[in-house]
Structure 1
């Protein structure tokens, strides 16, 4: 019988990263919101009620397991692990931990029960796993005792299981699985590696015991496969395909063999895959990432996702949701499916420019653009000799029977790339509708290759696929719509400095390739203001016209030619008359629920010096922006208001205006809670403004002002989850720290910087935080 939705559980405000269950069917969940929660099944319906919230972690909680009841643990024990490197133990009836263990040196990313009572095994980004036993002293003091340490991996250990008293299995970001034997009585708590399994081609993310008697277990990986192994022989018994993207989590309800077990997987593709006997069921989820799955004693499946929601699925018709709830769930899934179907190579058709862009000449011969013609993506090429756009045809995303298969997915090309003599070639998959530079960047990141390989790999793709570079990009590929539901943050769509020489805003170095991630070697000091330039003018104009038509108040409604005059101000170098500026001022009084495109025009318009000077007179622009700066209930308007402030600072008048109001702005910024800062665009706008503050204030000899800016940055930074925003805050701190009269840093921000510097996954946040640690320690 097929699984169907049973109930939906709300309570976490950020991603649900880990799940476990008790023997009596309670659910335990952990989240990026720094909490763990215990949920009791309702007696009157199939829902769940929160009965306990566990606190104690200082950062994201990402892993959890439940130890069974025993003589020393009569109510069992909940063990959680977090990004703060801590293991916390909780009794179900108490919200405070009964012990905190800190011997891991990085994020504790997975916890599983051991095979003996009161034991568990934890794995960490510090490249180790540890086996523990919980003891209770005569005075009822609970203590985890370290039994064994498992080493041998060269990268993060994502999961570890104790298959039997004989075998402990660990899996890692180094793409390998190690089988360990415990050395009994060893005073160093060491173990010995007896086998190394290398069947996966990417990070191995999770493990689950399948059949302990036959020593079989399963692994899942970023290579989109699940593998069944025999631990005794090290043999790969079977490989399963069913996901088009990374698989993050795995759970098993064990039978006597694979055919009689229930296997559940989830990952970065919205797929909840369920294998039962010879059948496979796929239930698409209305959330991008499935971080955790577990199976309850009654065989119901629990799913934790990136939207902060827990969903339970069942085969029992008595526990299945009502037809209305099922229909609502399916509608959510269908909406996301429809959005996905309107994408070409990751670009949403609805966000493509309309036919009006064909009135503008191309930038060079052979330039390729895509436009939206009646909801369809149409490709055009610029012919310089004829001075016209030539229609190439419809852009399709349908499957091609001639495609090549790689890791269960279809590609136009799959090449063997020889990187090193004597080493096996690496597989480089590519589809024609992808950007060669983006694929090249992903390839070198995946295989830990030097950043200097980027241009070589990209040119290899362009040459061997006979595509032009870039391929099938929209007319304005930098645009990311900040307010439509389909929007998402793209790291390369960064604000730029006021400099127009193509240099990187943080290092001063020239960009190697447009629109590709940059390897930052130096960070401090930041010497110029950042601004937000990217925009899809036609999309903004369409939204303004749409809202203008809906206005009932004739005093607010404007003629099209008036709106067109306002849109001309989006061009930084255009000649702007005062009439157009007055129209913009009038539009800034629109109701807040339809104001966002006007705020977007304003942040573009203030780059123009005449507009900047006019709007700064008599504090006019600040008066218009203040209500939205304070209103965290409309985060899109708040985000665009912060962007306006960043762009205002490009000219002297705007800079002075922001300087006069900086204390008030810092107060507002520090009052924002982590809940207020969920939106990624808002985080980046806020961090960019703080970075600009650091550039502005470092020119001052006012120690109190410098310390105030530093305190605000230090307060906000730990509340952020978006890496680009964290990075900018770190650059801001570094910019202030290198001053002669450098500010005092709180222990909290020092600990946070140290935490980020200890992560094992390469990123510019990691690199920047390490530079910052060196500055602080001087």
Structure 2
């Protein structure tokens, strides 16, 4: 028995050329041609060696004329060798991992497969891939063509994949979608290689056209929030996923969140019909209009409208994503007036007034039976309540206080607050309208002033309401009752102070913090209150320190917005010199002053 000895490591493949010539490929990186007719000392002699691969040579395939051959290797290359002179004439590059098998597809094309779920079709005359196919399995061990139009790929997942260019054998859409999903989950793309790409939502594949062929986008999957890589080649196709995606989705310099090619104040996670959507929202937008546009863009059922609005209303906030302050300021929570201590007494008084107005302005008995629970959670009856309020706004002036008291309680509910303004701000409740004007000007008696001022403060009960108040700030400031015209009542003064405090909370919003005129006007309201303190006209009011603390908190928020001016410096000195002296025994005022000083040191530079 003869032996063939010469390789230093494992022999990986054999290929007969003729009955007397044999090619062998080895993990020692060499290929050897043996002449079986030349035997010396019992060993077949080497006729020629082919050197060039940098790693294990795994397979061989003869050229169609058998005057050369192809070799595949762990070095990720395919080489074509001239059998006569032993030279490597072509190196085919395209695989990204080990190559395990090579086979002919037809006279001009061959196919290879390997690790990293790759099958590549090659044209013999081109050293770059003619077509690259990814399969939803880690390894493709072998490929074999049955005809020039059909080939099979053997996967490590136990599945035999069949490929063809016959149109009548194309898979149906459902099978193709399933295959694409399997493929994407298998193909891992490292974040480092796509970190330069922006993250988009799935709807961008329809709404934002590609700039060029081969363009790639990172897309968040609606199904499980996986970050996918899509590539454009006549259509968008997923080519893999990014398991280690770690890009921060928040711009701290602007306080905004990126969404497709824009930035928004908020981007909410919404799950509808088993899919995960991103709902972008700017605080100055109407939640109903945003939700309607979102439904149309994503081709959703309009039955989702209410839940989308509720998502925006419940989760929209002025509190930043990252809070770094070390003291009391800024304060992010609005001061609202929500309690109604005795609903039954209120209902009884309301019934009395209802009986005295003209019949066309009266409410039916069903409105008068609204429960305490419905008052606190009026989401289900918002439409009915707004219809009732349209009547109530036309009640006589001397009865407006009880209408305002009802409205101020309802406005503390975020959903009703948003719904009411969505319905009313273009007509019954807008600057210049009779009812809005009566609320702003407050009247000259205790009940009217107290309830009206609390309505204005409670506009901040939702982000949409706060934006309405901000949009109309100049009008409200110019037309509202002045400090000096307030009724001498601690609750009236606290309600009035809370309006300006709530405006100061808006300064946590990045865009509003840039509005220097807005900040300057808040400072003017603080100074007007300071004049009231200096005149000592507050002294008849018991517990007036509660009003002072609200206005000090307003000033603290203003300082935290980096409001640097001579007015602010002067007011701080006034607090340090006069307030401490006048209220030296009040620990709350001393604490608040200390927190203002901390904020001043932190934000004034």
- Give the strand-richer structure, 1 or 2: 1
Q: Compute the TM-score of the two structures, normalised by the length of structure 1.
A: 0.31
- Give the helix-richer structure, 1 or 2: 2
Q: Compute the TM-score of the two structures, normalised by the length of structure 2.
A: 0.39
